[in-house]
Amino acid sequence: MELPKIKILDEFDKTLRKVSKEVKFPLSKEDKKLIQDIIDYLTMSQIEEYYEKYNLRPGMGLAFIQLGIPKNIFVIVEEIDDEEFKNYVIINPKIISHSEELIYVGEGEGCLSINRDVEGIVPRYARMTIEYQDISGKKQTIRVREDISVAFQHEIDHLHGILFIDKIDKKDPFKNKDKMREI
């Protein structure tokens, strides 16, 4: 496999603060190719042979805005078994409902646009239902939970110009930790 040539913006690029725009269908050839490139990149970033060869940080999600393209598209590649992956291509997502229960990632959230360790917890919903369009423009509904729910919220935030570091309390990075469940 060859590493796709994509450039991920870092946190200091003001483009990441833009609100992404609704996507019209049909998708362009360029958008379809970029979706496949993102799937390949994220998959390779989670396979030791490739992340060592190309010096990649493992990542499971990437929004188009992180590549400088303000379109409501994100991709998540979840490793469900050893080097076996499930891909989510989410276009024009809308949160339909969410749980009251809040969770947070114990070792902290990470982001391919933030090249440093960040202390603190990011409150996330334990479960959500999302309405979105698939690659052909067909409306879909998906229910996500736990780590995939966190990943979806992280990427949806990107589409609204929000980084996970914005959700960490600056004065008390572990605020309300006792009111949430660690995953």
Q: What is the token pair recorded at 163?
A: 């980084």
Report the first-to-last Cα separation within the chain, whole angstroms: 32
What is the percent of the chain with per-residue pLDDT over 70, rounded to a whole number? Answer: 100
Residue 4 lies in a domain: no
Secondary structure of 112-180 as H, E, C letters: CCECCCCCCCCCEECEEEEEEECCCCCEEEEEEEHHHHHHHHHHHHHHCCCCHHHHCCCCCCCCCHHHC
Inside any domain, residue 84: yes
Cα 50 versus chain centre, distance: 20
Residues 46-105: tens digit of each pLDDT: 999 999 999 999 999 999 999 999 999 999 999 999 989 999 999 999 999 999 999 999
Distance CA 66, CA 26 (A): 22
Tokens of 113: 């646009």
User: Is there a domain that residue 137 lies in?
Assistant: yes
pTM of the model: 0.96
Residue 23 banded pLDDT, cuts 50, 70, 90: very high
Residue 123 has pLDDT above 90, yes or no: yes
Task: Evaluate whether residue 1 is within a structural domain.
Answer: no
Q: Is 155 a catalytic residue?
A: yes
- Catalytic one among 11, 79, 155, 182? 155
Task: Provide CB contacts within 8 A for 160, sequence distance 6+.
Answer: 19, 20
Q: Nearest Cα to 180, choosing from 106, 98, 110, 96?
A: 106
pLDDT of amino acid 178: 94
- What range does the domain containing 141 cover? 14-182
CATH code where residue 132 lies: 3.90.45.10
Nearest CA to 163 out of 15, 3, 5 is that of 15
pLDDT at 1: 82
